[in-house]
Amino acid sequence: MKKTKKQLEHLAKKIKLLILDVDGVLTDGGIILDNEGNEFKVFNVRDGHGIKMLIRAGVKVAIISGRQSKVVERRAKELGITEVYQKTGDKLEVYHELISRYGLKSDEVAYMGDDIVDIPLLKVVGFPIAVADADEYTKQFALLVTNNKGGRGAVREVTDLILKAQGLWPEDIGGYLAY
């Protein structure tokens, strides 16, 4: 169900926690494996900067992934994401743990996903988001489908929306405009 810009801003204004899937959201979904068993992923720098700005503004960010990867641990550490759950069979269990720990309500949580394994979370959060190149069936459960693809600026699109809706955008970029 497509929402108007004003409705999306209303949802984004309440967000205190943004939960992200990894493959297909923080990355384009591609995984490169070499002969030595190393795994490579490509992350978008602007997505990362958006995450850092969101955390700096006081919005929590968590990662929940069904896969396990040292690369994800490293990227999360670089960005300051402390809530990282990998090799998660039941993403809903982790979600409930997070909202309980932080005393949050569902309407204060946004989740970004791209495939059918993300649908259970998309159905319970207040602001369900799918990336532009998400599975078509999965998109039906999102209130926002980003203009950008996973790993190609979709996360930044959402972090900017949340910052602007919460009136935090000018404070965050003020230092950048001084030059």
CATH of the domain at 70: 3.40.50.1000
- Cα first-last separation, the chain: 42
Structural domain includes residue 167: yes
pLDDT in tens, 46-62: 999 999 999 999 999 99
The pLDDT, as a whole number, for residue 3 is: 79
Q: Whole domain around residue 99: which residue ranges?
A: 5-26+43-171
The total domain count for the chain is 1
* C-alpha angle 71-149-67 in degrees, rounded to nearest 5: 30
Compute the average pLDDT of residues 100-126.
97
Structural domain includes residue 144: yes
Structural domain includes residue 12: yes
Structural domain includes residue 176: no
What does pTM read for this prediction? 0.93
**Which of 42-46, 120-124, 169-173 shows the lowest mean pLDDT across its residues?**
169-173
Structural domain includes residue 38: no
The span from the CA of 41 to the CA of 29, in Å, is 8
Structural domain includes residue 165: yes
Q: What percent of the chain has pLDDT over 90?
A: 85
Structural domain includes residue 50: yes
The partner residues of 144 in beta bridges, in order of sequence, read 129
Structural domain includes residue 77: yes
